[in-house]
């Protein structure tokens, strides 16, 4: 994961990323060009390319931004155990409901790109670290698998059933599924 950048460059990067997220969701990933992002961000196309040479670089940055947000929460929250695990998944659900199409694309990017798999592996570690230490390690791994599977399953279910991405409904559904696991 790249180090954080501060100042005007960081603000420009953030504006570009927010513009891209909105466009990807509104227009669909395949239809958005760097020209579209530049127009939405109020910047030149060259500025966009200076930050992100390819759409894949932009997607990786968006995935890293999402993970960094969860890491920041993990480090600063006073929650622990099951409460923390549920709060992290609720944050993911919030972002998923805001950007379901983009989230699905980021998930596929995470699965394909080795460096991103390693990043997501840290998320699994955070889950396992917050499970009851009385659980054997193998059982903690299984619970982490089931919880992440439930999250991915909810996304797929909503797409397959043409359901809206309603955050309160998804959080409630996730909580019911999680209660059957731990």
How many residues are there in the chain?
Answer: 182
Q: Report the chain's mean pLDDT, rounded to a whole number.
A: 92
Tens digit of each residue's pLDDT (9 = 90 or more) over 57-105:
998 899 889 889 999 999 999 999 999 999 999 999 999 999 998 998 8
Q: Do residues 86 and 74 make contact, with C-beta atoms less than 8 angstroms apart? A: no
pLDDT for the residue numbered 89: 97
Q: Do residues 58 and 23 make contact, with C-beta atoms less than 8 angstroms apart? A: no
Predicted TM-score (pTM) of this structure: 0.86
Query: Is pLDDT of 2 > 70?
Result: no
Q: Do residues 105 and 29 make contact, with C-beta atoms less than 8 angstroms apart? A: yes
pLDDT for the residue numbered 115: 75
End-to-end CA distance of the chain: 31
């Amino acid at each position: 994961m790249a180090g954080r950048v501060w100042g005007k460059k960081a603000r420009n990067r953030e504006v570009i990323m927010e513009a891209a997220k909105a466009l990807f969701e509104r227009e669909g990933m395949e239809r958005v060009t760097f020209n579209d992002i530049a127009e939405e961000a109020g910047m030149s196309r060259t500025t966009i390319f200076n930050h992100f040479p390819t759409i894949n670089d932009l997607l990786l940055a968006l995935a890293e931004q999402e993970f960094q947000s969860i890491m920041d929460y993990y480090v600063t929250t006073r929650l622990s155990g099951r409460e923390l695990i549920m709060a992290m998944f609720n944050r993911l659900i919030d972002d998923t409901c805001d950007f379901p199409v983009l989230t699905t694309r980021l998930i596929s990017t995470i699965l394909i790109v080795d460096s991103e798999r390693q990043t997501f592996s840290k998320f699994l570690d955070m889950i396992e670290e917050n499970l009851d230490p009385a659980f054997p390690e193998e059982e903690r791994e299984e619970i982490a698998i089931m919880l992440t599977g439930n999250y991915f399953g909810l996304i797929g279910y909503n797409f397959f059933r043409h359901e809206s991405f309603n955050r309160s409904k998804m959080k409630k559904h996730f909580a019911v599924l999680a209660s059957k696991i731990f």
